[in-house]
Each structure stands twice: as structure tokens, then as C-alpha cells.
Copies of this chain bind each other. A is one copy, B any other.
Amino acid sequence: MGAVRTGRMPRAVREQQMLDAVVQIFGRRGHTAASMDEIAELAGISEPLVYLYLNSKEDLFTACIRREAAALTGAVRDGVRPGLSADRQLWEGLRAFFTHTARHPEGWAVLHLQARTHGEPFAAEIAAMRAEIVAFVAELILVAAREAHHDPALPERDVAGLAEALVGAAESLAAWANATPGVTSRQAAATLMNFAWAGLGDLMENRPWSPPVEPARGQGRG
């Protein structure tokens, strides 16, 4: 995005430029197929400088994953207002998720596709991030169960499975929404809320989950 400035620059800026380039390349080609050459060229610097700043290809990939993971989880966290009911919190989290993945497709590709297909250091990083999100969703489900006055609530393993299912559905819909022209992140979130909260059975009976009317948040795409 935008012309890369060349010449001497503070280290922090250079590092961000490099990571921007890395996200592009890794997102498109993956870790193994990407060459340091290409990364340095896209970042507008020489190859040795890449090594000077970020020791090795592995460190580069790790840094890239961490930055993108932090950006994604941060976006979701910031999108959720804590006080609301569980389904409203989930709704807001999903909207933030779909919005972020739509805006950062390469970053999402790194996290969802590339990082998982390469040996241990990276897969673990992704697993941690994903576990965090799944735990968040599981917590919401437990809260919802509690709100519905169920004691004992759903068994723990069931909750874990349901959260896994929901997150998997979200990941799938993110790709679908990005690939299907005309599907907004709002629609993707609504589809998923209907599916997850109301279930197909209720949908058959014309009892959808209804998304709340949003007064004035107007974030571009949503």
C-alpha cells in the first residue's frame, strides 16, 4: 500500500515495512515458497538488512504471525462491548471478525492457511491464538447457559465442541464472504448468528435470530 520510502529510516519503521512485505508474500505463497529475495525487494531494502533486523526466515515468519494474530484478536476484543448479553457479544465479535478478515485478506491467509501448514513453531503459535478465541466463545456459551438459568450448565466437553464448531463456521464463512461478491461482513455475521443461535430447525420454523438495529456506529463496510 503506497510507495515504500527508501533511504535511511528509523528501525521501527523499517521493521513495519518489512513485516508488511512479509505478510503479502507469505500470505500469497506461504512460508516455504516465499524467498527472502522477494521479501527484501518488496520491502525496498537489501537482503542483509532483513537479516540484521529480523534474524532469520523463521523469526520473520514468527513475527509476522504474531503481529497478525495480535491484530485479529485485538480487533475482535475491541469490537465487543462487555456489558451486553451473550448473543449480543457474540454478534459484535463476529462482526469485528468478518470485518477484519475482509480488510486484511493476506494477514488472514497467513493465519488461517499458511501458518498451519508449516512445522511446529508456527502451528503452535496459531493454535494458541485460536484457543484464545475458542475459549472466548466457549465462555460466551457458558454465560448464555447461565443466563438461561440452567444448572448444571452444558457439560464442559460439549461446550468446547460447540465453540469449536462455531469458530470453524466463522472461518469458513470468512473465506466465503471474501470470495462471494456482494456479501458484506454484516451479512456473514447475520448468517452465522442465525445458524448458531437459532439453528436450522428453528430456521425451518421461521424463527430466526434477529440482529439488533445499530444506531450510529457506521464502520464503513459493516
Contact A169 B176 (CB under 8 A): no
A210 to B188: give the CA distance in the assembly, Å.
Answer: 28
A71-124 with Cβ < 8 A to chain B: 87, 113-114, 116-119
Q: Classify the secondary structure of A's interface with B.
A: helix
Interface residues on A, range: 35 or more
Q: Counting CB contacts under 8 A, is A20 at the interface?
A: no
Tell which of A32, A164, A202 has the most Cβ of chain B within 10 Å: A164
Contact A183 B157 (CB under 8 A): yes
**How far in angstroms is the closest Cβ of chain B from A129?**
14
A29 cross-chain contacts in B, Cβ below 8 A: 119
For this complex, 21 residue pairs linking A to B, each with C-beta atoms less than 8 Å apart, are A29-B119, A30-B32, A33-B118, A87-B201, A148-B205, A150-B204, A157-B180, A158-B194, A161-B188, A164-B173, A165-B170, A165-B195, A166-B169, A168-B170, A169-B169, A195-B196, A196-B200, A199-B199, A199-B209, A201-B209, A202-B202
